[in-house]
Amino acid sequence: MSQIDLFRNVIARHALADGTFECALPGVKLIRYSAPTMPMPVIYEPTVCFVAQGCKRASLGTSVFHYDPASYLVASVGLPVVGTVVEATSEHPYLCLQLDLNSPELAELALKHPRQGGGAVPAGLTLNEMTSGLLDAVIRLVTLLDTPDDLEALGPLAVREVFYRLLSGPSGDVIYAITQSDSRHGQIARTILWIRAHFKEVFRIDDIAKIAGMSRSTFHDHFKAITAMSPLEFRNQLRMQEARRLMVSDGLDAASAGYQVGYDSPSQFSRDYSRIFGAAPAKDASRFRLATK
């Protein structure tokens, strides 16, 4: 049996229904979908996604990433991404393992195995080629689900090996950047957290640049390099994701949802929403409700 067949079979055994599931391995989620999905706006926290079967598309601003078993996706900061499963059937469902990168273990490992700095600020979402060594490590991690008595003793070691392979592989620069709070990447990560907590408010770019400890122009350049968006575009993505949730889950009308996320003008809200989601707010919310029933 090939590496990828083994990986696929283990996830299929432990993710029996469609959805995203916590499992007995700390920081690990298993994902399964038996059909393509409609575009779903989500926040990708610092995480890495390994696909065992099928293909998914992630859109960040104007950048589009397709990842499948030959590649893996790394999100190094919390980003508003539109994700879509594009290849999946009931016989061959989309299967994926997602690993949390907000880990003291990763920071400790990066300290022991530092990388040379001085390069460009890594993007917040990157696609990387899967290597045989990394896939072996991921398989060793997920197959521990078959022997739950081994999880406590071997789980941390298996996670540590995956982290090491990530740090030493093609994604090493971006993985290392996650652990460096005083780097340019870390400074932008702080402002992203601030914007996520205050996206309903009006704020000035100069104020956000001060949080990052940068000049306005330097901040803008680094923010866009990491997020593929300007700070205001980033804020609008967060506003629209929350507005959609309010309309779909809480039943608010478009004008009320727009007001709740910081808009004074219903017409401006409708224009911004249509530009991001491709349909007017009420029409999109109705379509989304039907698709998720």
Common-topology check for domains 184-229 and 233-291: yes
Can you tell me the mean pLDDT for 69-74?
A: 97
Can you tell me the mean pLDDT for 101-124?
A: 82
pLDDT at 118 over 60: no
Considering the four listed CATH numbers 3.30.420, 3.40.140, 2.60.40, 2.60.120, the one that applies to the domain covering 3-178 is: 2.60.120
Instruction: Write the DSSP symbol of residue 99.
Output: E
Looking at the DSSP bridge assignments, the partners of residue 68 are none
Contact criterion met (CB below 8 Å) for 30 and 97? yes
Cβ-in-10-Å burial (0-12, 13-18, 19+) of 119 comes to exposed
Tokens of 247: 């309309």
pLDDT at 291 over 70: no
Task: In whole angstroms, give the CA distance from residue 43 to residue 124.
Answer: 12
The predicted structure's pLDDT at residue 38: 85
At 17-71, the pLDDT tens digits run: 999 999 999 899 999 999 999 888 889 999 999 999 999 999 998 889 999 999 9
Cβ-in-10-Å burial (0-12, 13-18, 19+) of 84 comes to middle
With cut-offs at 50, 70 and 90, classify the pLDDT of residue 119. low
Share of the chain above pLDDT 90, in %: 77
| pTM beyond cutoff 0.85 | yes
Task: In whole angstroms, give the CA distance from residue 129 to residue 175.
Answer: 14
At 150-204, the pLDDT tens digits run: 999 999 999 999 999 999 988 899 999 899 887 888 999 999 999 999 999 999 9
Give me the residue spans of the domains in the chain.
3-178, 184-229, 233-291
Among 77, 33, 76, 79, CA closest to 58: 79
At 202-220, the pLDDT tens digits run: 999 999 999 999 999 999 9
SS3 content of the chain, % helix, strand, coil (to 5): 50, 20, 30
Q: 151-168 vs 132-142: helix axis angle to the nearest 10?
A: 160
Considering the four listed CATH numbers 3.40.50.150, 3.90.1150.10, 2.40.40.20, 1.10.10.60, the one that applies to the domain covering 184-229 is: 1.10.10.60
Class of domain 233-291 as given by CATH: mainly alpha
At 232-289, the pLDDT tens digits run: 999 999 999 999 999 988 999 999 999 999 999 999 999 999 998 889 999 988 887 7
Cβ-in-10-Å burial (0-12, 13-18, 19+) of 159 comes to buried
